[in-house]
Amino acid sequence: FRFKDSLAQDLQSADLVISHAGAGSCLETLEKGKPLIVVINDKLMDNHQLELAKQLHRDGYVLYCNCSTLVETLQSMDLSALKHFPPGQPEKFASFLDKVFGLQ
């Protein structure tokens, strides 16, 4: 997709998502419980996408590759090995901030 206001409907109907490794794309997909392959852009400077992809892969949530290894990744993938991403708990973060700022 070049641009869409929301991918929610597309994510809901997807069996597999192949995406860049942007934090928003990764988290939105994982929160929907969809298997995810992230494709790293090797040309980015200070490649934070690679760092995120590696960590999510180490934790067992995603597969990752680059453009040249995507076909190989698709052929050899075992999506059943991926862990379910735990739901967020924003109320814990809000409570922490309240304590830090003396609001509790």
SS3 assignment, position 5? coil
Domain boundaries, the chain: 7-101
Burial label for 53, CB within 10 Å (0-12, 13-18, 19+), is buried
pTM for the whole thing? 0.81
**Is the domain 7-101 a CATH 1.20.58.220 member?**
no
Q: How confident is the model at residue 44, as a pLDDT? A: 72
pLDDT single digits (tens) 16-47: 999 998 899 999 999 999 999 999 987 776 77
pLDDT single digits (tens) 57-85: 999 999 999 999 999 999 999 999 999 99
